[in-house]
């Protein structure tokens, strides 16, 4: 895991420990909290058109950034509790995705996106 993420993970550990919050942070609870934070992010987009979502106002963009941060922070805590190396898992998943969606047969017309 790289330096930036490692220092965030350490800061999250210290934060929870100082407040005696570790007792609440079971993986089950953290997965729920992650889900709630993602919904707070989605809420910003629910009534926008796709085009509007590409051109957020600056205040809205800042709110979305704060929600995205919450998502990352809970995701890091969940992975920390389960001893999962998130970057390594992401790299592996990109390889799996490359095999699942070969370039030639996956262009635009991909069933993934066009199954209405």
Closest distance between its own copies and the C-beta of residue 15, in Å? 7
Q: Is 15 in the site for its own copies (CB under 8 A)?
A: yes
CB 74 within 8 A of CB 34: yes
Q: Is 100 in the site for its own copies (CB under 8 A)?
A: no
Closest CA to 76 of 42, 19, 37: 37
Q: Is 99 in the site for its own copies (CB under 8 A)?
A: no
Q: Is 9 in the site for its own copies (CB under 8 A)?
A: no
> Among residues 13, 70, 77, 99, which is the contact residue for its own copies, using CB under 8 A?
70
Long-range CB pairs of 16-21 (<8 Å, 24+ gap) are 16/77
Site for its own copies (CB under 8 A): how many residues?
A: 84
Q: Is 10 in the site for its own copies (CB under 8 A)?
A: no
Closest distance between its own copies and the C-beta of residue 98, in Å? 7
Phi first, then psi, for residue 57 (nearest 5°) are -70, 160
What whole-number distance in Å separates Cα of residue 61 and Cα of residue 56?
A: 6
Closest distance between its own copies and the C-beta of residue 70, in Å? 6
Closest distance between its own copies and the C-beta of residue 51, in Å? 8
Q: Is 58 in the site for its own copies (CB under 8 A)?
A: no
| Torsion angle of the four alpha carbons 70, 32, 54, 69, in this order, in degrees rounded to the nearest 10 | 10
């Amino acid at each position: 895991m790289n330096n930036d993420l490692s220092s965030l993970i350490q800061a999250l550990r210290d934060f929870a420990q100082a407040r005696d919050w570790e007792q609440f942070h079971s993986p089950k609870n953290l997965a729920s909290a992650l889900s709630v934070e993602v919904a707070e992010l989605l809420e910003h987009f629910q009534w926008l058109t796709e085009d509007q979502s590409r051109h957020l106002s600056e205040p809205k963009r800042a709110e979305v950034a704060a929600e995205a941060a919450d998502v990352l922070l809970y995701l890091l805590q969940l992975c920390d509790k389960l001893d999962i190396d998130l970057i390594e898992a992401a790299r592996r998943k990109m390889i799996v995705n490359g095999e699942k969606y070969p370039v030639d047969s996956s262009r635009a017309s991909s069933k993934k996106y066009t199954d209405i």
